[in-house]
Amino acid sequence: MPDYNRLISSRHKQELFDSVSSAALSAAIIKAFAIPGVTDPDERYGAPKIHDETNWQDEERHRRAIHSISNYYNSLGMPRSYFVKSDNDDLAENAYYAVCEKSIMDYMASMGWTVVDKKEKDIDEAIEFLDTPNPQQDFSDILKITLPDLLRYDAAAIVKTYKMNTYLGEMKPYLGTEFWPEIDRLYYKGMTAGMPIEGWYSRGYVMRWWQRSRTGLYVSFMPDELCYMRMYPKSDSVYGTDFLMRLKYQIQYLIDSTRAAGKTFANGVVPSIVWKHPQIFDWNQLSQRRQEIKQENLGPAKFGSVIHTIRDEEIDTLSHTLHDMEWLEGQQFVAQMVWSMFGFQPQEFVGQSENRATAYVSRNVTKSKMLYPLIHYYERMVNREILPKMEGYNKEWEFKFSLELDLDDDLKQAQIMATKAQSAQLLRNLGIKTEDAIKLTKIVTDPSTITIEEVPIGMAQTGMKQPGIQNKFGSPEGSQAKEIRSPREGDKEERQAGINKASKKVRGPFK
């Protein structure tokens, strides 16, 4: 028998009709949409219960706080304040932002990923599902579709489709700005501070999502049917923060300056030379003079010819001065501000010569500011919204990306591993078991995944090897190794006695 609490949506009505009788269906609908303790005159806007750990309608919880945007009658979704999708799209239609968006898509889509358990063993069924989440797309396609929505609007959506056995069947990304949340809406009537108060309020939890499609159809989704992605949530809204609008004036300046420079050179507003004719007052004379210059100096065969001026005529050439080029420096500064917003260093897009050390540092800054936040967010969303809905899910499953390390990263990891190994050896010499020492130093997450051989503490402290192995002096190592002394140690007592005897004969000026 299917789980009605999960399948009770407009998308699964036909499946319910086919699988259960009409009486059972009616009972399931009444049971699913009944919300105890909620006083709402219109019961159509109640939400079905979702019996999992993310259920916000837990009857045992008593919430008192009220959300700040609870005064809307949001039967078909909550509007997003001060957001116009076309404005964000216009700001994104320029090369300064496009290089950021394309670079992020290339970085993320080319990264490897896997699903492992606690022992770092691959989960084949989960990997196979994520590799082909729907018949026409793979996981890299999902990244390339959702990333632009996250960067431009901070709103991306992945619709999850369930099979009749209530487990996840497929997932597919859609335009995130089309999905509007319908938050819970409650009515309060009572006494507060000795005064009668009544009115509508909300806890700020999503009851259902409405896809307000461009075709004019509104489709409802239960919270567990939609993976709505927003990286920067706010306390006064159920939506995210589109940081692209924070750069509205800077990006518009870059667009306008680029357009103005293009029109200037296309229309030839800036002349090459200025020719002054103070003795010519008639247009016909000026035209005749221009024809003479063209005939005598213009043409590939007359390159390098001489222009002869008459009486007070003067010729000045126009060249850009440093003051004239200041607008270009300002444009570069604003462009660097735009790139910094998305975590890029200017060296990523502006070719400059730099040494290897500087290049490694710049690369690490780019990873920490641009790549790592996106990696962690996608890992968290998949582990929380996708994997738990799959058949055979185990809480030890973990989705993670595989970072491709540079040479500098490899060297740093090798140094860190060597330091951890030395720390583990020190703990082992103090009498701590090898497995516990590995856990304390975190050489590996699970010591059971590697082979551990206990070494006697005495041998670990003195660095001795097994008996029978010769040292560099040719003597066997072991208990005899303690008898080996340096040449100076052998004559230590004799030398000290000679020093004491000589000191008795030598007298200073004072006794």
**How confident is the model over 146-188, as pLDDT tens digits?**
999 999 999 999 999 999 888 999 999 999 999 999 998 888 8
Q: Which domain holds residue 432?
A: 408-466
Taking residues 338-343, report their average pLDDT: 84
Which region among 141-145, 210-214, 306-310 has the lowest average model confidence (pLDDT)? 306-310
Residue 424 counted as domain residue: yes
Closest CA to 101 of 153, 152, 177, 175: 152
| Position 351 in a domain | no
CA dist list (Å): 4 to 18, 37, 63, 459: 13, 21, 27, 66
pLDDT value at residue 240: 93
Per-residue confidence band for 316, with pLDDT thresholds at 50, 70 and 90: confident
Q: How confident is the model at residue 407, as a pLDDT?
A: 55
What are φ and ψ of residue 455, in 5° steps? Answer: -110, 135
Q: What is the pLDDT of residue 424?
A: 83
Q: What 3-state class would DSSP assign to 53?
A: coil
Kindly indicate the confidence band of residue 345, based on its pLDDT and cuts at 50, 70 and 90: confident
Q: Is residue 426 part of a domain?
A: yes
pLDDT of 322 above 60: no
pLDDT of residue 29: 40
Give per-residue pLDDT as tens, 383-427.
999 999 999 999 999 999 987 655 556 667 778 888 888 888 888
Is position 457 within any domain? yes
Residue 453 located in a structural domain: yes
Instruction: Find how far residue 483's CA is from the centre of its chain.
Output: 62
DSSP state of 192: E
Query: Could you tell me whether strands 186-192 and 179-183 are parallel, antiparallel, or unpaired per DSSP bridges?
Result: unpaired
The pLDDT value given to residue 133: 94
The mean pLDDT of the chain is 75
Number of structural domains in the chain? 1
Residue 441 in domain: yes
Supply the pLDDT for residue 350: 64
Kindly report, residue by residue over 495-510, the tens digit of the pLDDT.
Answer: 555 555 544 444 444 4
Q: Is residue 109 in some structural domain?
A: no
Structure confidence at residue 41 (pLDDT): 35
Give me the pLDDT at residue 115, please: 95
Mean pLDDT on 63-67: 82
Query: Which bin fits 37, alpha (ψ -120 to 50), beta or left (φ > 0)?
Result: left
Instruction: Return the pLDDT at 476.
Output: 46
Can you give the pLDDT at residue 274?
Answer: 80
Of 315 and 478, the structure prediction assigns the larger pLDDT to 315
Q: Which of 9-18, 215-224, 288-297, 450-459 has the highest mean pLDDT?
A: 215-224
Burial tier of 134 (Cβ tally within 10 Å: 0-12, 13-18, 19+): middle
At which residue do the structure tokens 């020719």 appear?
Answer: 275
pLDDT of residue 175: 95
The continuous run of DSSP H or E covering 230 comes out as none
Question: pLDDT value at position 390?
Answer: 93
Which residue did the predictor score with more confidence, 460 or 177?
A: 177
How much is the average pLDDT of 189-208? 84
Structural domain includes residue 431: yes
Question: pLDDT tens digits for 360-371?
Answer: 556 666 777 788
